[in-house]
């Protein structure tokens, strides 16, 4: 039977003065020493060995605190790690501690996140937040203290990361409020206390909330069907105009599109993941292209589509000066970055951007392929969900 607070308070050594222990279940028990001291212990198996972990002293750590820590340690075990080596979890300030609440929030989000994103958010907490406020009770953490944490990150020049950490901290406090462990969210007071990201002038592009209407308008385009499909494909692949225009069927390699370094005018090839939506659009273009070597051929099929065909289609749709083909890349970059699900480096690699920072470019040669495949699937699904006339017919 699980322990009660009364049993914990009244627990004593055995009548002969020897130590005793009271089991609560799940490996948790209260050890009572001959001198009357009371200590929470947890038994568990790791890599085939029986192990014992000290959780804290009663009543400093209440029964509820001990159970919460037991849960945290079991999650650590489930992740394939030894709780005894995870020192951060052992000092989380009990059930009201910020780290305890943060780990509860992280576990709740885990099923909906890709593993890379979960590890990225967890890493931000473990590197920048837990060392500063992890052991503090949520209700004792002030806006000034949170700002102190954020300013250290901001001081490294990581403006975007600082913003995301503030958002994550705010969500942890929302959980604390919802579960009665705090009454206010100090992170909410800091929106205007941090540096804003410098504005960069982009090509005319769509706002996120304009994507759905544009796709609806595009479905009603009364010009060449090939042009409409090409515009959709460029949205799903995030390619530049010329990367699509001069694309040949020989570059399509099943699950990806391989554009040579020579054609990219870069030092390496550009490998583009093809989602189910992109493949469906390519299939339609294949039918329209006939025996042309070009993915989107011009009249007669001997040359690629002209440079102005797609932009003129945007004009006919009423987007003159409001949108450019290149602007689709800006929209994608904004949505992907603001989602917080994907690393900025993976997004930049997908856009095939060349950085002026030669040191960063030299050391950052990773393809981020696994993450980019998942990211592009997410992006294609994002577009499809906003298209009232989606690709269901093509994907059937």
Give the residue among 122, 172, 121, 120 at the shortest CA–CA distance from 146.
172
Crossing angle of helices 309-316 and 225-237, rounded to 10°: 100
49 is catalytic: no
Which candidate in 87, 199, 363, 365 is catalytic? 363
CA–CA gap between residue 171 and residue 107 (Å, rounded):
13
75 is catalytic: no
Which candidate in 174, 276, 326, 386 is catalytic? 326
Taking the CA atoms of residue 257, residue 258, residue 262 and residue 267 in that order, the dihedral angle to the nearest 10 degrees is: 120
* Residue 331 · residue 206 · CB < 8 Å: yes
Which candidate in 197, 225, 248, 353 is catalytic? 353
Residue whose structure tokens are 């060349």: 354
363 is catalytic: yes
DSSP state of 197: P
Which candidate in 137, 329, 349, 372 is catalytic? 329
What sections of the chain are H helices per DSSP?
5-10, 63-78, 87-90, 98-109, 115-124, 130-133, 143-154, 159-178, 211-219, 225-237, 241-245, 261-264, 276-289, 309-316, 327-339, 344-350, 358-363, 369-385, 392-395
Report the 3 state secondary structure along 262-314. HHHCCCCCEEEECCHHHHHHHHHHHHHHCCCCECCECCCCCCECCCCHHHHHH
Which candidate in 240, 245, 270, 372 is catalytic? 240
Residue 84 CB coordination number (10 Å): 16
240 is catalytic: yes
Which candidate in 49, 78, 199, 265 is catalytic? 265
Q: Within 13 Å, how many C-alpha atoms sit on residue 327's CB side?
A: 20
Element (H, E) at 37: none
CA–CA gap between residue 133 and residue 144 (Å, rounded):
12
The region that residue 107 occupies, defined by phi over 0 for left and psi between -120 and 50 for alpha, beta otherwise, is alpha
320 is catalytic: no
374 is catalytic: no
* Residue 29 · residue 38 · CB < 8 Å: no
Give the residue numbers marked as catalytic: 240, 265, 326, 329, 353, 363
């Amino acid at each position: 039977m699980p322990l009660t607070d009364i049993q914990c308070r009244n627990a004593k050594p055995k009548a002969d003065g020897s130590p005793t222990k009271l089991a609560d279940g799940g490996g948790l028990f209260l050890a009572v020493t001959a001198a009357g001291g009371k200590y929470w212990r947890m038994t568990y198996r790791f890599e085939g060995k029986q192990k014992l972990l000290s959780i804290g002293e009663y009543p400093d750590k209440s029964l509820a605190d001990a159970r919460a820590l037991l849960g945290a340690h079991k999650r650590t075990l489930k992740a394939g790690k030894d709780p005894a080596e995870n020192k951060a979890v052992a000092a989380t300030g009990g059930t009201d501690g910020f780290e305890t609440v943060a780990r509860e929030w992280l576990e709740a989000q885990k099923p909906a996140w890709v593993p890379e994103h979960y590890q990225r958010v967890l890493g931000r907490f473990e590197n920048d937040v837990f060392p500063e406020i992890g052991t503090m009770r949520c209700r004792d953490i002030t806006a000034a203290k949170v700002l102190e944490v954020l300013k250290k990150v901001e001081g490294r020049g990581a403006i975007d990361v600082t913003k995301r950490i503030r958002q994550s901290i705010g969500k942890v406090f929302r959980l604390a409020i919802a579960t009665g462990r705090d009454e206010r969210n100090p992170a909410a007071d800091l929106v205007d206390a941090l540096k804003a990201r410098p504005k960069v002038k982009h090509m005319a592009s769509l706002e996120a909330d304009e994507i759905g209407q544009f796709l609806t308008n595009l479905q009603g385009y009364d010009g060449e069907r090939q042009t409409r499909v090409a515009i959709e494909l460029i949205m799903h692949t995030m390619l530049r105009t010329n990367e699509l225009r001069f694309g040949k069927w020989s570059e399509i390699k099943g699950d990806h599109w391989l554009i040579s370094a020579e054609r990219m005018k870069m030092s390496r090839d550009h490998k583009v993941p093809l989602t189910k939506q992109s493949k469906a659009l390519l299939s339609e273009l294949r039918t329209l292209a006939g025996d042309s070597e070009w993915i989107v051929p011009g009249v007669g099929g001997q040359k690629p589509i002209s440079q102005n065909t797609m932009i003129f289609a945007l004009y006919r749709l009423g987007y003159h000066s409001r949108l450019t083909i290149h602007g689709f890349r800006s929209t994608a970059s904004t949505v992907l970055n603001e989602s917080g699900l994907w690393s900025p480096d993976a997004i930049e690699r997908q856009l095939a951007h060349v950085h002026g920072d030669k040191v960063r470019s030299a050391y950052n040669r990773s393809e981020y392929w696994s993450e980019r495949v998942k990211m592009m699937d997410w992006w294609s699904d994002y577009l499809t969900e906003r298209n009232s006339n989606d690709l269901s017919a093509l994907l059937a």
